[in-house]
Amino acid sequence: MVRRISDNEYKYVKEVLDTEFRTSSGAQMMRKLEEKFASVFNAEFGVAFINGTATMHAALESFQFSPGDEVIVTPLTMSSTTFSVLQANLTPVFADIDADTFQIDPKSIEERITDRTKAIITVALYGSSPNMTEIVKICKKHNLKLIEDNAECYLGKHHGKLVGTFGDFASYSFQSSKHLTSGEGGMIITNSEEDALAIRRVQSLGYAGLSANKAKITKLDIQDPNYLRHASMGWNYRMPELCCAVALAQTERIEELVSARQEAAKIFLGASDGFEEWFKPQHIPHTDISSYWTWVVKLDTSKISWHDFREKFIKNGGDGIYAAWQLTYLEPMMTNLKLLGRDKFISQQNLSMYQKGLCPIAEDIQPKLLQFKTNYWDIGDAKIQAEILRNTLEEIN
């Protein structure tokens, strides 16, 4: 059995509490977390954030694009990815997905590029990798920035290379459902000292005394009446020390926590063997390794409806099944342009595209996806659920 929270989480939290939050203690846990996390992904720099949306917003702000510039995103993911684009006063442009992997499709990305395109945000959906080989080629060809949204992917690999090592920045989330959690929190990694400093300034109120590796200004700095604090505008996106303490302990256990989900997914794959004609798991290329934030299947809804399948599974004793998020551009905030004024930065041409028909493959697949839990810390529970799944499939077949 894997413990979701171990002794070290409690130990590190106590160390923070023992400081009584004295400012002289600085951001010690944040620094330890940043260093440890970066080392896991062979990155030079890590910058901790209050959540995994602020990470991407800060990354986009650090590039200093012009208002209205375009960023290509996938519509099939949590809308936070698009929120970060809107928060930076930029234009989200939605590319369609691959019908088998459900990942953003490089061919659709290429079709969406204009002279205003400045960046691509990929999402390692459900724990597996997009076709980063082709996407990196596109970025180089068009001189685009690349941000990897890896909130759902820890230790996944593409062609033997860690997901998170392809872009200018890679973003991670410590939200409660993720592989590693501190309740809330996020992390950005990069190999560029210049980019690390730029994003640190966005993260921490634009303080002049920061560096790529320095997370907080000192008392010696601020006790000088002539000290000029703010080199630029910034946000207060720093991750709290208590959350950093928990995330540090989780990062030290990253292989254990990721392996538990991978093992659960393997058991589900075995249980569904032979039913692929109408119950088709997300395709993971043989060159890649998924971290299986969740195990996802495309259901042939001409055989049984999504709701009827879920009802039968639960009736047989199964845990709940999650649906895929509604496509971002079909959410009311996009269709009704409830964008808190950000719509003024988006061209009328782009605004008129946020409607059905924009990404036909994603629109076809989204209502067919079944997301099964993989966070079974007792593998015996996963085996029970897999047996229930097998029985449900045989009953329907």
In three-state form (DSSP H/G/I as H, E/B as E, the rest C), the secondary structure along 322-375 is EECCCCHHHCHHHHCCCCCCHHHHCCHHHHCCCCCCCCHHHHHHHHHEEEECCC
Compare 165 and 227 and report the one with higher pLDDT: 165
- pLDDT for 23: 73
Residue 107 is encoded by which pair of tokens?
A: 């061919």
Residues 255-276: what's their mean pLDDT? 98
322 phi and psi, to 5 degrees? Answer: -90, 145
Strand, coil or helix: 292:
coil
Contact 57, 271 (CB under 8 A): no
Which pLDDT band holds residue 24 (cuts at 50, 70, 90)?
low
Residue-wise pLDDT tens digits, 122-149: 999 999 999 999 999 999 999 999 999 9
Poorest-pLDDT segment among 3-17, 215-229, 305-319? 215-229
Residue-wise pLDDT tens digits, 182-206: 999 999 999 999 999 999 999 999 9
Contact 60, 168 (CB under 8 A): no
Which residue is associated with the tokens 């440890």? 36
- pLDDT for 224: 78
Residues 246-251: what's their mean pLDDT? 98
Instruction: Look up the pTM and report it.
Output: 0.96
Is pLDDT of 22 > 70? Answer: yes
Q: Which of 322, 270, 326, 327 is nearest to 299 (CA)?
A: 322
- pLDDT for 27: 85
Is pLDDT of 387 > 80? Answer: yes
Is pLDDT of 221 > 90? Answer: no
Q: What angle do CA 191, 196, 198 make, to 5 degrees?
A: 140
Residues 36-64: what's their mean pLDDT? 98
Residues 99-121: what's their mean pLDDT? 98
Q: Which of 13, 38, 16 is nearest to 27 (CA)?
A: 16
Q: What angle do CA 105, 84, 205 make, to 5 degrees?
A: 145
Which pLDDT band holds residue 228 (cuts at 50, 70, 90)?
confident
Domains and CATH numbers, the chain: 7-253 (3.40.640.10), 256-325+361-396 (3.90.1150.10)
Compare 291 and 219 and report the one with higher pLDDT: 291
CA dihedral 359, 361, 363, 369 (to 10 degrees): -140
